[in-house]
């Protein structure tokens, strides 16, 4: 069964017992190799029930065991395969008596976890509290991030939520009460499953020995995505017999924000000094010019296993393209036009993808795709009009256009400090009864608290200064966003991240100076990939729009990677060498999704009209090698001029001119 494997893959499959590190480059048949390794172990006498396969999704484990069964037989379905969390769950059910919980403990889902955090928060934050506290959802996110990243609460707050650093002690107190509540109610969240499992394996030698005798061979897929706790658990399970094989690609470790640690791969030989390292470098996905580009990008990395991907295919192929355009608008327009050109040349929509670093980067492109009736689906990031802060801004604009829009009034009133449901209803009724001329009623604020009056007045002064008749959409938006800035800070703990989404609204406003047209265009042609626009009922194909993170593991013939500029790739928020290297790996993942053709786009100016040079990951490449080619954007011909040429009159008779135009 090893005949269909290349030499490096065979080396993995035939490797003797003991620790093995498999460094599997992008597209090199990692899963296929792991499947054959599983079948080889069972075929050569290893009890399938003594093999533990740890993966990141249940589906991945099921798929691998199914493929292994087709190679060998149904014995493969007895292999214990699953996720780290599912393994830890069963482990703790069995050994619950060794920790302070009963074996019938409840597993908390995300909503339940937030509920417990909310209960703990209510014990600390009261009506007498004068300082703003994070919402329960934010607190749950903070506690989980600290655990998975293995950093202190203070350090995490300093980096991600500096506005809360002054209440670190209180946030820690809430965490303590949250932990106590879980134990009191015999409940564990997802992080607890990992935490308690690791603690038991570390502290109880008899349990550790028992697990080693049950599982004689440990295999871990996507090892580069493990966090320190998961890697520690896997290594502890193999600490006695050392029969552990881990497969991954250090160059595709891109989930550092949720704890994935590239050093789990890089330091594996330090943990197991007798380990064997095997590299898979024969890439069955991409043409060599794309691989040459990817290899060169990695060559500048300061922390990775040096490897050189090669393609077994000898077909002639194009160098990757670097497109230079002036603006984000031109970038979106060019990509959508190029997609149409490729489609007309016979390339199916399903064979094309557009990748970007963050979900908000595609908003302008989505407008262009909708306008050209190009079907698409978006993965990663939330859809534009599902974002609460985008809905907020549109509510302000709707009120300016239509004073009687009660739903939008209710939304923006509730956003203001000291205006709750009760007072928002009272205020709207007063506005309505005064035909929205609030200043003319001397009794308007009668019975309302002073704080409510102040908040309402501030809002109305902003709205009263705006006119869709005398001001452009862009001017209106700028003023609304100026008012909304403090509202955003008040209502959302992650305000800085949300501000980036709102920049797309400003860019779109430059295309429609009239507010009514602007709102109509957004509503009738929403920036949303949820509804697939099909202009051919028999064709269910669609373009894939995806964040690079969501595209990992996937592939397309044609790939467009947007905004390959400083400040985006790498991101402007990076502060350390480790963060820079993860950005490089993210770019590498984007490159290696392309099979035949890769387009990189470089808009020279961002949404704030600031110059954005091409990414250092491109500019730092060696100049003596032909790694990519510059592509100039085609200038669109003047459509009015073409129309005039076509409509060149041949007669002074208006009727005849009309007939000539439409019938010839």
CB atoms within 10 A of CB 409: 22
Q: Is 373 annotated as belonging to a binding site?
A: no
Q: Is 248 annotated as belonging to a binding site?
A: no
Q: Are 36 and 15 in contact (CB under 8 A)?
A: no
Q: How far apart are CA 10 and CA 18, in angstroms?
A: 16
Q: Measure CA 98 to chain center.
A: 38
User: DSSP letter string over 509-527?
Assistant: HTT--SHHHHHHHHHHS-S
Q: Give the tokens for residue 144.
A: 């989980």
Q: Is 31 annotated as belonging to a binding site?
A: yes
Which helix H or strand E contains 557, and what residues bound it? strand 556-561
Q: Is 118 annotated as belonging to a binding site?
A: no
CB atoms within 10 A of CB 269: 14
Q: Is 28 annotated as belonging to a binding site?
A: yes
From edge to edge, which strands make up the β-sheet containing 352-356? Answer: 376-379, 543-547, 352-356, 556-561, 594-603, 321-325, 629-632
Q: Is 447 annotated as belonging to a binding site?
A: no
Phi, psi of 457 (to 5 degrees): -60, -40
Q: How far is CA 123 from CA 58, 114, 118, in A?
A: 38, 14, 9
CB atoms within 10 A of CB 445: 17
- Partnered with residue 244 across adjacent β-strands are 218
Q: Are 399 and 511 in contact (CB under 8 A)?
A: no
Q: Give the tokens for residue 206.
A: 């008899």
Phi/psi-derived region of residue 367, left when phi > 0, alpha when psi is between -120 and 50, beta in every other case: alpha
- 213 CB-near residues (< 8 Å, 6+ apart): none
CB atoms within 10 A of CB 475: 15
Q: How far apart are CA 283 and CA 307, in angstroms?
A: 12
Nearest CA-CA partner of 617 in 328, 295, 249: 295
Phi, psi of 175 (to 5 degrees): -60, -40
Q: Is 26 annotated as belonging to a binding site?
A: yes
Q: How far apart are CA 342 and CA 340, in angstroms?
A: 5
Residue ranges for the known binding site for ATP are 24-31
Residues annotated in the binding site, as ranges? 24-31
């Amino acid at each position: 069964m090893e005949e269909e494997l290349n030499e490096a893959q065979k080396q993995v499959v035939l490797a003797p017992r003991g620790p093995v590190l498999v460094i599997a480059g992008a597209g090199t048949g990692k899963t296929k190799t792991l499947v054959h390794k599983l079948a080889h172990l069972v075929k050569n006498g290893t009890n399938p029930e003594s093999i533990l396969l740890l993966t990141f999704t249940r589906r991945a484990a099921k798929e691998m065991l199914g493929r292994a069964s087709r190679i060998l037989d149904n014995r493969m379905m007895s292999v214990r395969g699953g996720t780290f969390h599912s393994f830890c769950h069963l482990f703790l059910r069995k050994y619950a008596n060794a920790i302070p919980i009963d074996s019938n403990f409840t597993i908390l889902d995300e909503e339940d976890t937030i509920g417990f955090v909310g209960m703990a928060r209510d014990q600390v934050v009261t009506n007498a509290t004068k300082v703003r506290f994070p919402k329960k959802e934010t607190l749950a996110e903070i506690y989980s991030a600290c655990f998975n990243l293995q950093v202190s609460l203070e350090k995490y707050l300093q980096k991600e939520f500096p506005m809360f650093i002054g209440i670190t002690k209180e946030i820690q107190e809430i965490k303590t009460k949250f932990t106590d509540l879980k134990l009191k109610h015999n409940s564990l969240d997802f992080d607890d499953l990992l935490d308690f499992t690791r603690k038991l394996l570390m502290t109880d030698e008899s349990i550790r020995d028992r697990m080693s005798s049950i599982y004689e061979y440990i295999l871990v897929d996507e090892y580069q995505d493990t966090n320190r706790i998961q890697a520690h658990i896997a290594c502890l399970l193999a600490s006695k017999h050392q029969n552990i094989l881990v497969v991954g690609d250090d160059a595709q470790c891109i989930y550092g924000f949720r704890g994935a640690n590239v050093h789990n791969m890089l330091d594996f030989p330090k943990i197991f000094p007798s380990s064997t390292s095997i590299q898979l470098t024969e890439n069955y996905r991409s043409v060599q010019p794309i691989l040459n580009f990817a290899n060169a990008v990695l060559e500048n990395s300061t922390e990775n296993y040096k490897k050189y991907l090669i393609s077994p295919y000898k077909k002639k192929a194009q160098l990757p393209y670097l497109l230079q355009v002036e603006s984000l608008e031109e970038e979106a327009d060019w990509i959508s036009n190029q997609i149409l050109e490729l489609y007309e040349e016979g390339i199916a929509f399903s064979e094309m993808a557009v990748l970007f670093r963050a979900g908000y980067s595609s908003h302008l492109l989505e407008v262009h795709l909708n306008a050209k009736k190009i079907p698409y689906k978006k993965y990663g990031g939330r859809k534009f009009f599902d974002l609460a802060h985008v809905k907020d801004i549109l509510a302000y604009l709707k009120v300016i256009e239509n004073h009687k829009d009660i739903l939008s009034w209710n939304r923006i009133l509730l956003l203001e400090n000291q205006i709750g449901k009760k007072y928002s209803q009272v205020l709207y009724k007063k506005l309505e009864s005064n035909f929205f001329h609030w200043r003319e009623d001397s009794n308007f604020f009668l019975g309302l608290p002073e704080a409510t009056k102040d908040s309402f007045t501030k809002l109305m002064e902003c709205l009263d200064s705006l006119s869709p008749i005398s001001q452009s959409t862009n001017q209106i938006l700028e003023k609304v966003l100026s008012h909304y800035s403090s509202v955003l800070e008040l209502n959302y703990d992650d305000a800085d991240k949300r501000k980036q989404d709102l920049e797309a609204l400003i860019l779109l406003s430059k295309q429609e100076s009239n507010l009514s047209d602007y709102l109509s265009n957004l509503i009738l042609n929403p920036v949303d990939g949820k509804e697939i626009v099909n202009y051919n009922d028999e064709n269910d194909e669609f373009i894939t729009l995806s964040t690079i993170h969501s595209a990992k593991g996937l592939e397309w013939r044609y790939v467009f990677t947007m905004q390959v500029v400083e400040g985006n790739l790498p991101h402007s928020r990076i502060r350390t060498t480790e963060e820079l290297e993860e950005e490089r790996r993210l770019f590498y993942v984007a490159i290696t999704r392309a099979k035949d053709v890769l387009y990189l786009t470089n808009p020279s100016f961002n949404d704030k009209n600031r110059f954005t040079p091409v990414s250092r990951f491109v500019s730092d490449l060696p100049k003596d090698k032909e790694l990519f080619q510059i592509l100039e954007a085609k200038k669109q011909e003047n459509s009015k001029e073409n129309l005039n040429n076509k409509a060149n009159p041949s007669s002074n008779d208006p009727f005849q001119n009309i007939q000539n135009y439409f019938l010839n």
